[in-house]
């Protein structure tokens, strides 16, 4: 034991002397490891938080999301109706309990004025199903069963801290929310902050019991207005629960003609939370792993070179009695020392990268973004990765360096340090592997960057410049159905009369907001469709002035008018083409459900992207606000003007304050910000992949530089003799550049083959570009050859300075 400790201390001292004796070499190896480890640790922190960590709820592995599924199963995650929910609770056998939820923006009236709050409306049992117990106070009780009469509220931990400074006497405090006085009965624990991003897509403020009667026709099974959460019974599998719910919904649909053909789906809640980000995260983790692999290959190459330069030292030590195992042990300790330094630097790189990722993440893009940080798990991952990298890629160079023969070294007078043809071949093979891996990443990044550029050039169908959007929510207590039209008409008229305002209008769903109403429609005058194959369309509720405010164009007929003879609608160009191809749509009628009479189509407008810039536009029916006043209490008002965004917001605030000072604006954004937010996640993913590709390119370039430079050093005498014998400058340059170009070309050829397979993994990232885009492949190949030749320039200049006389004397 004592001998082993002594040997370890001796190896550590030797490693320290070797590292300090070659500071540039040590720095290069440590920084190379740091780059690979830092990239992997940063992405691992996101993967760990989003995909690996269990949900912070009791028995979170039994929490599932329940969704309705439309007849053709193109939308498996469709909203749940209140009628279905009631039937599911009594007819299914796989769940201990289930709950409904929805969300809205409410107005809290305070002494300093109104402020908007994010209100999560749930059934009374929601927190029990989720397994959350308030940190202060209690949950909802039997008196809260009916949301219409409930007068209680639960605060989120974050809202309690932000708004009330963590006041321990908050319980029993009265809050005025949408004109109703509510008593604070509890505060959620800090780990329940996930509820907001998971179920609302944004930060949660308060939780109340949902008043079902405030939703129009809520008892109908085709009113898919809510989300549903359930907890599996112990021992029940996801597959069994899916069959149970599916069979139940099939039976319910057979009993209700308005949902004929509808079914239902069950998903693990954890899978729902990572939906849309799991694939990109795993691909980014794979890209980071390739960067680490390239970094490790570089380290192995550097250690091989260092081993050959120390051939005399190691051979002499071996001749003096040092065993091969002893030499390997010392070299491994040196490698692990590099790993320690590189790992420490990698942690710093990861910390900076994690901070940057969190700042760039768009709100609501990742439900568990708050859990992304440099914690003990990420630190352990970084340390283990750096040690493993140093060990695996230091072991082989250590074995190679310990095999030098003293006789060969002394016979060659130190000139045989190249390690022979075999060692040169190994180092060149490693560089070829680096280039091949870099080609895969660069081509993938090139395709994704071009895809992003094409996405950003997509015309959204509305004009984002000089326009802002803000949400206004009216409560049924203060604004009965008969008053909502008058409210918005007066507000928009007030705005239109202000200087600098070009147009103002409102819609139930903001541009690129997705969601909204998606419902069966019937084309009046056409044969009815089978009950299980309804014609579906996206419905948008709009006021007069909306198309002008959004910067859309009326292609035929007119827009929505305040003085219309009856409730009307306008079709998008895609809807007009799909419903009445090659016909004028003006004067046609569309009915909803089983209604005998339809609404008259008065016009056609250009298509506008509704969900994202990358999603092809489907049919959209814009119906008059007069027809759907109960569906659209919460409206997004759009104001277009000649001034800057701040002046437009101020004009809207002033108009709202004049009309009703108890109301507040929420979700205030310019249309340009809305467009930017819609592409924020794509831009972040593209940036990270491009950074990884740049790192791979840099490392592979350094690899080519290192091999060619070392080759020139080893062939210095040969080159000097060639010059002495009359070799021209061009011949010497050709000798050096050819070596680098050959390595690059072989790596590029192998990389092309790998890229052909790898790009299939990024197919879902690509927009308007194929994964075999020839321009990207050719540009990448040419670019890498140019970079490789540039890496050969310094060694080539060194070769040109070869002294013929010195070479002749050395020979």
Q: Is the pLDDT of residue 312 over 60?
A: no
- For residue 41, being part of any structural domain is answered with yes
Going by their DSSP bridges, the two strands 113-122 and 206-209 should be labelled as: parallel
The answer to the question of residue 262 being in a domain is no
pLDDT at 537: 84
| CA nearest to 331, candidates 375, 388, 385, 391 | 391
Rounded-to-integer distance, Cα 158 and Cα 241, Å: 35
In a shared domain, residues 522 and 655: yes
Q: Which two tokens stand for residue 256?
A: 């209700």
Q: How far apart are CA 302 and CA 708, in angstroms?
A: 13
Q: Could you give the 3-state DSSP secondary structure of residue 417?
A: coil
Residue 217 has pLDDT above 60, yes or no: yes
Residue 666 lies in a domain: no
Cα–Cα dist 531/262, whole Å: 10
Residue 310 domain-assigned? yes
State the Cα–Cα distance between residues 375 and 377, nearest whole angstrom. 6
Residues 169 and 224 in one domain: yes
Residue numbers of the domain that contains 439: 418-458+679-811
**Euclidean distance between CA atoms 383 and 389, whole angstroms:** 10
Domain boundary among 632, 661, 690: 661
- Residue of higher predicted confidence among 150 and 28: 150
Distance of alpha carbon 122 from alpha carbon 172, whole angstroms? 20
Name the pairing type of β-strands 620-624 and 535-542: parallel
With the CA atoms of 184, 186, 192 and 194 taken in that order, what torsion angle do they form, in degrees rounded to the nearest 10?
A: -10
Tokens of 471: 């949400």
Q: What are phi and psi of 77, to 5 degrees?
A: -110, 80
Distance of alpha carbon 687 from its chain centroid, rounded? 11
Give pLDDT tens digits for 159-202. Answer: 999 999 999 999 999 999 988 899 999 999 998 988 988 888 88
Phi (first) and psi of residue 260, to 5 degrees: -60, 130
Question: What's the CA gap between 401 and 89, in Å, rounded?
Answer: 71
How many Cβ atoms are within 10 Å of 329's Cβ, its own excluded?
Answer: 18
Domain shared by 691 and 780, yes or no: yes
Tokens of 80: 């749940």
CA distance 102 to 199: 8
Q: Which of 120-124, 722-726, 802-806 has the lowest mean pLDDT?
A: 802-806
More confident position, 418 or 658: 658
The per-residue pLDDT for 668 is 93
Whether residues 644 and 505 fall in one domain: yes
Whether 53 and 80 map to the same domain: the answer is: no
Cβ atoms within 10 Å, residue 449: 17
pLDDT digits (tens, 9 = 90+) for 529-552: 776 677 878 889 999 999 999 999
Mean pLDDT score, 601-606: 94
pTM: 0.83
The pLDDT, as a whole number, for residue 461 is 92
**Bridge partners, residue 116, by sequence:** 107
Q: 635 near 542, Cβ under 8 Å? A: no
Report if residue 590 sits inside a domain.
Answer: yes
Query: How does residue 386 score in pLDDT terms, banded at 50, 70 and 90?
Result: confident
Terminal alpha carbon distance of the chain = 51
At 88 the three-state DSSP class reads helix
Is 73 in contact with 383 (CB distance < 8 Å)? no
Residue 692 within any structural domain of the chain: yes
Q: Give the end of a domain, one of 661, 687, 715.
A: 661
Helix, strand, or coil (residue 585): coil
703 and 770 within one domain: yes
Residues 390 and 445 occupy one common structural domain = no
Give one DSSP letter per residue of 6-27, joined into a string. HHHHHHHHHHHHHHHHSHHHHH
Q: Which two tokens stand for residue 301?
A: 């190459």
**Do the beta carbons of residue 316 and residue 327 sit within 8 Å?**
no
Residue whose entry in the numeric block shows the structure tokens 């001796």? 10
- Residue for token pair 């192998």: 750
Run of H or E including 424: helix 420-456
Q: How far apart are CA 505 and CA 637, in angstroms?
A: 6
Same domain, 60 and 79: no
**Is the confidence at residue 9, as pLDDT, over 90?**
no
> pLDDT tens across 425-435, in order?
777 888 888 88
Distance (Å, rounded) from C-alpha 674 to C-alpha 177?
28
Mean pLDDT of the chain: 84
66 and 95 part of one domain: no
Same domain, residue pair 712 and 575: no
Convert the pLDDT of each residue in 363-379 to its tens digit: 777 888 788 888 888 88
Same-domain pairing of 632 and 712: no
Strands 634-641 and 620-624, sheet pairing: unpaired
User: For 728-760, how does the pLDDT look when each residue is reduced to its tens digit (9 = 90+)?
Assistant: 767 767 777 888 888 889 999 999 999 988 888
Would you say residue 266 lies in a domain?
no
Given this model, what pLDDT does residue 265 score? 95
What pLDDT is stored for residue 446 in this prediction?
92
- The pLDDT of residue 250 is above 90: yes
pLDDT value of residue 202: 84
DSSP-derived letter for residue 617 is P
Alpha helices in 323-371 (DSSP H): 324-360
Q: CA-based angle 771:776:779, to the nearest 5?
A: 160
> What letter would DSSP give residue 197?
I
Please check the confidence at residue 784 and state whether its pLDDT lies above 60.
yes
Dump strand ranges (E) for 87-179: 95-110, 113-122, 136-137, 152-155, 174-177
Residue 310 to residue 303: CA distance in whole angstroms: 10
Residue 415 confidence (pLDDT): 47
Domain count, the chain: 4
Question: What's the CA gap between 68 and 89, in Å, rounded?
Answer: 14
Same domain, 483 and 596: yes
For 341-359, write each residue's pLDDT tens digit.
888 888 999 899 888 888 8
pLDDT in tens, 317-346: 555 555 555 566 666 777 777 778 888 888
> Who's near 334: CB < 8 A, 6+ residues apart?
14, 15, 18, 19, 394
Instruction: List, in sequence order, every residue forming a beta bridge with 590; answer none if it has no partner.
Output: 523, 599
Most confidently predicted of 63-77, 235-249, 355-369: 235-249
Is residue 22 over pLDDT 90? no
Determine contact, residues 396/712, Cβ cutoff 8 Å. Answer: no
Give residue 724's pLDDT: 64
| Mean pLDDT (whole number) for 227-251 | 95
Q: What is the pLDDT of residue 167?
A: 93
760 DSSP 8-state letter: G
- The answer to the question of residue 672 being in a domain is no
């Amino acid at each position: 034991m004592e001998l082993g400790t002594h040997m370890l201390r001796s190896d550590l001292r030797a490693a320290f002397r070797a590292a300090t004796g070659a500071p540039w070499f040590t720095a290069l190896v440590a920084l190379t490891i740091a780059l690979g480890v830092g990239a992997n640790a940063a992405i691992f922190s996101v993967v760990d938080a989003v995909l690996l960590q269990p949900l912070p709820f009791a028995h979170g592995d039994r929490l599932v999301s329940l969704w309705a599924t439309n007849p053709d199963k193109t939308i498996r995650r469709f909203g749940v109706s209140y009628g279905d929910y009631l039937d599911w609770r009594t007819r299914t056998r796989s769940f201990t309990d289930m709950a409904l939820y929805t969300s809205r923006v409410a107005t809290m009236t305070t002494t300093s004025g109104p402020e908007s709050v994010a209100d999560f409306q749930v059934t009374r049992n929601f927190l029990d199903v989720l397994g959350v117990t308030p940190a202060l106070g209690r949950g909802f009780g039997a008196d809260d069963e009916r949301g219409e009469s409930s007068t209680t509220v639960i605060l989120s931990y974050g809202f309690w801290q932000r708004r009330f400074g963590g006041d321990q006497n908050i319980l029993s405090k009265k809050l005025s929310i949408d004109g109703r006085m509510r008593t604070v009965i509890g505060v959620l624990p800090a780990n329940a902050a996930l509820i907001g991003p998971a179920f609302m897509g944004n930060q949660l403020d308060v939780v109340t019991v949902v008043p079902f009667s405030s939703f129009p026709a809520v008892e109908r099974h085709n009113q898919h207005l809510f989300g549903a959460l359930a907890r599996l019974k112990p021992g029940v599998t996801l597959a069994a629960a899916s069959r149970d719910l599916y069979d139940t919904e099939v039976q319910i649909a057979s009993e209700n003609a308005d949902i004929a053909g509808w079914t239902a789906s069950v998903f693990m809640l954890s899978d729902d939370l990572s939906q849309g980000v799991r694939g990109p995260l795993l691909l980014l983790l794979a890209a980071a792993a390739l960067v680490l692999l390239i970094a490790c290959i570089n380290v192995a190459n550097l250690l091989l070179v260092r081993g050959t330069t120390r051939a005399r030292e190691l051979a002499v030590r071996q001749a003096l009695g040092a065993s091969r195992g002893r030499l390997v042990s010392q070299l491994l300790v040196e490698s692990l020392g590099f790993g320690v330094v590189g790992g420490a630097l990698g942690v710093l790189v990861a910390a900076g990268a994690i901070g940057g990722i969190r700042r760039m993440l768009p709100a609501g893009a990742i439900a568990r973004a708050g859990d992304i940080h440099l914690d003990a798990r990420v630190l352990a991952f970084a340390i283990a990765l750096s040690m493993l990298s140093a060990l695996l890629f230091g072991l082989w160079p250590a074995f190679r360096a310990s095999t030098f023969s003293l006789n060969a070294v002394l016979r060659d007078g130190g000139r045989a340090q190249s390690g022979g043809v075999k060692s040169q071949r190994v180092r060149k093979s490693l560089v070829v592997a680096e280039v091949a891996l870099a080609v895969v990443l660069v081509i993938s990044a090139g395709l994704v960057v071009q895809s992003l550029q094409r996405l950003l050039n997509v015309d959204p169908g509305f004009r984002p410049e000089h326009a802002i959007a803000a949400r206004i929510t009216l409560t049924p207590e203060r604004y009965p159905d008969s008053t909502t039209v008058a409210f918005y008409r007066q507000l928009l008229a007030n705005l239109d009369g202000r200087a600098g305002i070009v147009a103002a209008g409102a819609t139930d769903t903001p541009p690129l907001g997705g969601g909204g109403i998606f419902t069966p429609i019937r084309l009046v005058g056409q044969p009815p469709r089978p009950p299980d194959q309804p014609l579906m369309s996206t419905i948008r509720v709009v006021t007069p002035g909306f198309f002008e405010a959004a910067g859309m164009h009326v292609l035929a007929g007119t827009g929505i008018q305040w003085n219309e003879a009856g409730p009307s609608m306008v079709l998008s160009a895609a809807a007009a083409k799909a419903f009445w191809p090659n016909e004028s749509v003006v004067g046609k009628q569309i009915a909803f459900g089983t209604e005998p009479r339809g609404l008259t189509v008065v016009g056609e407008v250009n298509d506008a992207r509704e969900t994202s810039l990358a999603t092809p536009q489907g049919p959209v029916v814009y119906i008059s606000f007069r027809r759907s006043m109960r569906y659209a209490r919460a409206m997004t008002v759009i104001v277009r003007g000649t001034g800057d965004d701040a002046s437009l917001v101020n004009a809207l605030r002033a108009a709202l304050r004049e009309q009703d000072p108890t109301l507040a604006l929420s979700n205030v954004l310019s249309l340009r910000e809305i467009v930017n937010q819609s592409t924020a996640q794509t831009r972040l993913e593209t940036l990270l992949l491009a950074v990884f590709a740049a790192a791979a390119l840099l490392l592979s370039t350094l690899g080519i530089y290192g091999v060619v430079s070392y080759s020139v050093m080893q062939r210095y005498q040969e080159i000097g003799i060639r010059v002495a014998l009359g070799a021209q400058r061009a011949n010497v340059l050709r000798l050096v550049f050819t070596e680098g170009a050959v390595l690059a070309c072989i790596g590029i050829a192998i990389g092309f083959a790998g890229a052909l397979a790898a790009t299939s993994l990024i197919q879902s990232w690509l927009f308007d570009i194929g994964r075999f885009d020839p321009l990207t492949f050719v540009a990448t190949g040419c670019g890498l050859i140019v970079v490789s030749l540039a890496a050969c320039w310094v060694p080539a200049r060194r070769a040109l300075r070869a002294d013929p006389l010195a070479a002749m004397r050395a020979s």
